[in-house]
Amino acid sequence: MNRRKIFTGAVLLVLITSILTFYLTKGIPLIFGGSAIVPRQEYELMKQYNKLFQVKNILNNDYVDKIDQSKLVDGSIKGLASSLGDPYTVYMDKKDYQDFTTQTTGSYAGVGIVVSVDKDGHIVVVSPIKNTPGERADIKSGDIILSVNNIKVSGNNLDQAVSLMKGPQGTNVSITLLRDNKMINKTLTREIIKLETISSTMLPNNIGYIKMTMFDENTSEDFTKALNKLKAQGLNGLIIDLRDNPGGILEQCVNVANELLPKGLIVSTKGRNKRDNQVIYAKGPGLGKPIALLVNGGSASASEILSGAIKDRNVGVLVGTKTFGKGLVQSIIDFGDGTALKYTSARYYTPSGVNIQGKGIEPNYVVELPKNYVVTDKPDLKGDTQLIKAYDIVKSEVK
């Protein structure tokens, strides 16, 4: 999940320099080769990062080639972020940030798969996006990506793996996967991935069906339009398909939840700073009709926030298989120069107080799909066992 926070940031190198400048401008003597009168906190900070400046000076003076200072600084910042061992905390240079922004605002050339990092540090496919090269190549949720274009990848270089899979439209990319302990090689042709996140239709007995593929900047608005259209047709109950929905923007998820839930808690977040401690409530009145959500192992993040709220508040039921298990909130700091820092700022908790990170959410009704059955964009009430179960539940609750 992504909350955007925009303010001017400063590099650590600038911070240290500013400390020294402060004392000089204030007339506090700094005696080189002797003692300096500085507060203990600043002194300890300078001691702690002394080696960083030693390395910088060695490279500047003695490295075989001339140093590009901007690359040196960017590399230092990336190192600070990656040292946490959190794959969701990364410094994004201009290209990385542009690619990241595109994923939630528009379209891009790539293969159309959403990835994350599992507890073992593997890059794992959360879900392929519908009607993309990834889906047509039969890449599945749970596949582990071992290499891209023969370059080994892991959770430690997630951004590099994502960047390698993107590229000019019409070019090829090779991906090596691990599935059921077997290596699988795929060659995909990149194409423009259009992010259309909502589709809907009316099923028999006026039971509405809305498919949500992710939560981007237009999702909640498109969801409301689809829901209002179904209401105008005499909606009796609603099925929301969140299978293989990897999540997206928290605000969009909250807006969708507001359409469905009566007044009460949607989600809470807890971090180290007060600004990251939020309790988010639905305004109501909610849909007031039977609801079932379809979920699976590719339902992650924002999908799990919506699913957790629906289940914990007893507003509807979940049908399918256990969700992915991403219960972390990411914040974005835009430095104003085309770069940004994405970092984990909080954990989120469902209304019952559960953080599902690494655990996922168990559905009310566990239903497996038939072996080799492929879910399509069109709802199938003959072969899709999960949809059939959800439909029967909603139908039985229609008054």
Dig out the tokens for 252 from the structure.
Answer: 């969009």
Does the pLDDT at position 5 exceed 50? no
> Of all helices (H) and strands (E), which one includes residue 146?
strand 144-148
pLDDT of residue 25: 43
234-243, 315-324, 374-383: which has the minimum mean pLDDT? 374-383
Domain 107-193 matching CATH 2.30.42.10: the answer reads yes
Task: Kindly indicate the confidence band of residue 21, based on its pLDDT and cuts at 50, 70 and 90.
Answer: very low
Average confidence (pLDDT) over 61-67: 92
Domain residue ranges in the chain: 2-85, 107-193, 196-330+339-397
The yes-or-no verdict on residue 183 having pLDDT over 50 is yes
Q: Is 60 exceeded by the pLDDT of residue 119?
A: yes
pLDDT for residue 117: 83
Cβ 49 vs Cβ 16: under 8 Å: yes
Q: What is the pTM of this model?
A: 0.69
Which of these ranges, 23-32, 120-129, 159-168, 279-288, has the smallest mean pLDDT? 23-32
Among candidates 187, 229, 192, 190, which has minimal Cα distance to 208? 229
Q: What is the pLDDT of residue 318?
A: 98
Supply the CATH classification number for the domain 196-330+339-397. Answer: 3.90.226.10
More confident: 213 or 102: 213
Which has more confidence, 195 or 93?
A: 93
Query: What integer pLDDT is reported at residue 7 of this predicted model?
Result: 27
pLDDT score of 313 more than 90: yes
Confidence of residue 96 (pLDDT cuts 50, 70, 90): confident
Q: Looking at the predicted structure, is the pLDDT value of residue 187 above 90?
A: yes
Average pLDDT of the residues in 115-140: 87
pLDDT at 49: 83
Residues classed as catalytic: 301, 312, 326
Average pLDDT of the chain is: 87
Backbone angles phi, psi at 67, to 5 degrees: -90, 135
Question: What is the arithmetic mean of pLDDT over 175-195?
Answer: 92
Question: What Cα–Cα distance (Å) separates residue 295 from each residue in 214, 318, 344, 356?
Answer: 13, 7, 25, 15
Q: What average pLDDT score do residues 157-177 get?
A: 91
Closest CA relative to residue 115, chosen from 150, 151, 183, 166: 166
pLDDT value for 256: 97
Report whether pLDDT(17) > 70: no
Q: What is the DSSP string of 110-135?
A: E--EEEEE-TTS-EEEEEEPTTSHHH
Least confident of 27-31, 44-48, 146-150, 296-300: 27-31
